[in-house]
Chain A
């Protein structure tokens, strides 16, 4: 809620939506007429109280730019972003876990170092730069993947890769260190004594226990993923909430930005909640403790 209050005032300080709604040659009189029409001529405190009353009633206001209920717009675009974020997370987990496991198997060997370098490189490049370079290589040079839109399943590949690049690193490193911890535990040593191969040991036994911290990391990375979505969705013209928020900010669409911030905060809370649930599911100890 306080986040919404903060947004409410910051965005009102950042510019005038009325000017952006009218054609440039509109006269000053026309501007103040429009301002009055939209109720922006009233004191900010009055506007805020009005807004809060609306929120209580479940009315988040109408987007100035799209001229539709802001909530409807947001919900319309949410599936696209969730899909992109989900595929990026799955991609990051698959790559991160396998790289992390590889690194743990060959601790301090060349493979370990190579993995470290690869995942760090992913974490060290700006998301939009990865995006542009991917378009350059795969879409322009080799015509492998489409560069934009959402018509074909293939078109999700490039945006998902560029979004996944960052979280791969923390996941891989967490998997590596918790695997190394797990590998020194008694049950692994006994499994080894029973003659299971190292690969079997890792994938059958150790990995399952190493997943717990990974879940935490995913929860933590979700925030940066949403931030990255603003940029990624712009580069690949993916019709999700990231681009919607950006459009809202650029057009000083007060109701739309406020609604988006409110909803994104809710999504955060929800993700944290789901993370906690997963914890409960994966780690039996917590269930016993509480």
Chain B
């Protein structure tokens, strides 16, 4: 009987979303990602914003070249040190008919800032002291201290605008299940644990997108995801592991979209206050002992770019590729004996599956460090445990970590959290660098910020608080029926997906 009930209640789901194809009228596509969708309220997300970005909009958005352009705001400017003015687009409505205006912006930010709501990503906008609705189409953002990053912050999902009346009526939990926004798409159907379907918003203020309907599916296993793409069960897949690149390239149905340096800048961090890593010569020696080019070429098969830069090439603050430590085991041995470790030492290297081939890379590093006398034991830590031990400083003195500017595309997000002493993910403390980092956060002069980042870069390389490794590429699989390329900011704007010529 249970079985019958199960089949009955489940059977409804079958035959609904016939996968992956476009007919003459509207284009319907399937996008497969490794993880489930949990909630669709941009103010309270704990996951990637790839889906909500299409239902909601921010005041500032990024164009195809990933430069800032007007979104729900037509223009913005800084009035004084702590005040920014946004002029809003007129005549925009939410899909439930509510009007978009300055009050809606204020409401959306206030609810995230309100400590009682305890929004997980509140820290993204805590520099904001107050949002004032000056008139229907003018918003003033008052910050606690000068904040040069306001336009970027108003591109990030916690600032996406929600309809005040509806959101207030239904409450947080319901809103996350039945979101209403101003974006080019709206929620059509949500099959919990399996898929979310978005459909085009007919009353959207901007150009009508080509794709009519999109289903986001969760397929955690990489091999399954790739085979879904090649078989035509999915049209776009994210997070393609490098091992599957050739499979997609060789297939007749799909193509590979490469975002060079679209991922994390991965490094081996040292706890610089723990012996022997408190000795700069030891840290430099280990940098000379690792053949990063070899690792990138042979283990990652070119799926990353070896770099000493802390900042990605598309980020604000990038200052070219600085000179670092050449692969030179001889020099490494000499530095080690200068530092008082002629016979090397033993250490543990923690690693976690957040990064490409993490255990392979860690084992290769261990093997190379063995050549200069440093015996390293590789310890692969379960993901949830790693998220707990690294911010509390309980990890081994050598640990793998990767960081990126994510969708801010600014050096601040790429380095502050991992270099400023006292930050949970930082195991480095250099008063000079700290001072520079603090200045970079308060200076409104963008030219000055650029100089500061170049200076930080120079000092950090000399100080070697990490083994500089590489920045990962990201890969997407895209059906040949579609014209779309992966983006550095990691977003998936459905309105930019076109039919292939």
Contacts and interface: CB of A to CB of B under 8 A. Distances in A.
Q: Do chains A and B touch in the complex (CB under 8 A)?
A: yes
Interface of A: 14-16, 19-28, 30-31, 33-34, 37, 65-68, 73, 76-80, 82-83, 86, 132, 135-136, 139-140, 143, 146-153, 234-237, 239-240, 243-244, 247, 249-252
B152 to A, nearest CB: 15
B124 interface: yes
B230 A77 contact: no
B24 interface: no
B38 interface: yes
Nearest to A146: B233
A67 B39 contact: yes
A143 B46 CA distance: 36
Interface in B8-38: 9-10, 13-19, 32, 36, 38
A9 to B, nearest CB: 17
A132 to B, nearest CB: 6
Contact of A150 (B3, B9, B194): B194
A179 to B, nearest CB: 26
Given A67-B173, A136-B223, A237-B221, A21 B233 contact: no
A79 B194 contact: no
B6 A149 contact: no
B220 A237 contact: yes
Given A14-B384, A27-B123, A239-B193, A83 B46 contact: no
Given A26-B424, A79-B5, 15 more contacts: A22-B46, A33-B115, A37-B118, A66-B39, A86-B6, A136-B223, A146-B233, A147-B233, A148-B32, A148-B221, A148-B224, A150-B194, A151-B19, A152-B15, A237-B219
Given A83-B7, A86-B3, A146-B231, A151 B14 contact: yes
Contacts of A139: 224, 227, 231
Contacts of A14: 384-385
Interface in B189-205: 191-195
A24 B391 contact: yes
A166 B497 CA distance: 44
Contacts of A235: 221, 224
A255 B118 CA distance: 19
A24 B425 contact: yes
A67 B425 contact: no
Contacts of B192: 73, 76-77, 239
A33 B228 contact: no
A83 B9 CA distance: 10
Contacts of B343: none
B224 A83 contact: no
Nearest to B44: A67
A120 to B, nearest CB: 27
A150 B224 contact: no
B6 A148 contact: no
A28 B393 CA distance: 12
10 contacts: A23-B123, A25-B423, A28-B391, A65-B38, A79-B6, A83-B3, A86-B3, A147-B233, A149-B217, A150-B194
B384 A251 contact: yes
B14 A150 contact: yes
A159 to B, nearest CB: 11
A82 B120 contact: no
Contacts of A247: 36
B6 A83 contact: yes
Contacts of B423: 25, 27
A140 B227 contact: yes
A226 B220 CA distance: 19
- Leading 7 A-B pairs by shortest Cβ distance: A239-B193, A25-B417, A82-B6, A239-B194, A79-B6, A237-B219, A79-B10
B239 to A, nearest CB: 13
Interface size class of B (residues with CB under 8 A): 35 or more
A127 B13 CA distance: 26
Interface in B372-422: 383-385, 387-388, 391, 413, 416-417
Contacts of A239: 191-194, 218
B2 interface: yes
Nearest to A25: B417
Interface string B165-176: 000000001001
B123 A26 contact: yes
Contacts, number: 168
B228 A146 contact: yes
A19 B387 contact: yes
A23 B231 contact: no
B10 A83 contact: yes
Interface string B70-110: 00000000000000000000000000000000000000000
B46 A28 contact: no
B13 A25 contact: no
B50 to A, nearest CB: 16
A12 B100 CA distance: 44
A147 B228 contact: yes
A77 B193 contact: yes
Nearest to B247: A140
Contacts of A30: 122-123
B220 A82 contact: no
A252 B44 CA distance: 18
B288 interface: no
B419 to A, nearest CB: 12
B193 A244 contact: yes
B225 interface: yes
Contact of B425 (A25, A31, A80, A150): A25
Given A33-B118, A234-B220, A239-B194, A250 B384 contact: yes
Contact of B38 (A66, A153, A237): A66
A20 B382 CA distance: 13
B279 interface: no
A284 to B, nearest CB: 23
B39 A25 contact: no
A244 B36 CA distance: 10
Contacts of B5: 79
B417 A67 contact: no
Interface in B37-52: 38-39, 44, 46
Contacts of B491: none
Nearest to A72: B192
B404 to A, nearest CB: 11
A37 B120 CA distance: 12
Nearest to B231: A143
Nearest to B403: A24
User: Which of A15, A23, A25, A78 has the most CB atoms of chain B within a 10 A radius of its CB?
Assistant: A25
A28 B388 CA distance: 12
Contacts of A151: 13-19
Nearest to B4: A86
B284 to A, nearest CB: 28
A225 to B, nearest CB: 14
B121 interface: yes
Contacts of B230: 140
Nearest to A270: B2
